[in-house]
Amino acid sequence: MIEILVKSFYLVLYQPLFNFLVLLYEYLPGHDFGLAIIVLTLIIRLLLYPSSAKSIKTQKALNEIQPKLQEIQKKYKDDKEKQVKETLDLYKKEKINPFGGILSALIQLPILIALYQVLRKGFDPAELSVLYNFVSSPGHINAMFIGFIDLSKPNLVLAILAGVAQFIQTKITLPITKKTNDKTQDFAKIMQKQMVYFFPFLTVIILMGLPSALGLYWMVGSVFLIIEQYLLFNKTKTNKTPI
């Protein structure tokens, strides 16, 4: 069963993405692998836009009703059944599907994993043997981006830029909260804010040890999401739609 899933993943996701990346590398000006990665990342993000936008809207809506959810939890802290009922009624009233974001993430995850594998293994000449018959082999992939960044090796600058972009992206979705006298709620807010700094820091540490092609992909994808979130958040201010 596992072997079938691995083979299906390879045939349905990995091989098509790798072939498309090589096509971009061959036909884009300058045979710049970095430019090919940027274009591929943008195309994938555009294809995932409907799913991603739904997830962002759901997260934004959940952030906005946090004060109401906290009121319900406080009011019915001794009656879990009533707490659940009131919470579900609130979701229904606000037209929010709390599981919408999870479903969107599950749809995107296999594609992102495949792209990660493509960028991690794409510089190996042996991988060119998996090209389709109609895709001409370049024989060798030049790993240089804009003439001086070797994408086959780690790059501290790209790793830091990827971390900064992720920090901004996460910061945009962080709800504005007021200080309360509830120590439990205040502790949760402190932990939430710490995660905003922790995950970008972890991203930098991880990317420092991987080919910088992954850092470039991560940075471009995060910048795309920043723009997407900005546009969606500004739209929902004037036109609230069902989630």
Domain boundaries, the chain: 2-238
pLDDT > 90 fraction of the chain, expressed in percent and rounded? 18
Of 3-17, 72-86, 128-142, 214-228, least confident by mean pLDDT is: 72-86
Crossing angle for the helix pair 15-27 and 100-121, to the nearest 10 degrees: 60
pLDDT at position 174 over 80: no
Instruction: For residue 149, report the phi and psi dihedrals to the nearest 5 degrees.
Output: -105, 115
Predicted pLDDT at 189:
64
Highest mean pLDDT out of 27-31, 169-173, 184-188: 27-31
Q: Which helix (H) or strand (E) holds 44?
A: helix 33-47
Could you tell me how many residues make up the chain? 243
Please report where in the chains the tokens 């910048």 appear, as a residue.
223
pLDDT at position 178 over 80: no
Give the pLDDT mean for 131-159. 87
Q: What is the mean pLDDT of the chain?
A: 81
Residues 6+ apart with CB under 8 A from 228: 45, 49, 52, 53, 56
Look up the pTM and report it: 0.79
How close are the terminal C-alpha atoms of the chain, in Å? 36
Give the pLDDT mean for 38-42. 93
pLDDT at position 63 over 50: yes
CB 162 within 8 A of CB 204: yes
Measured at the CA of 85, the angle between CA 84 and CA 90, to 5 degrees, comes to: 95
Please report where in the chains the tokens 């991690």 appear, as a residue.
120
- Between CA 104 and CA 99 the distance in angstroms is 9
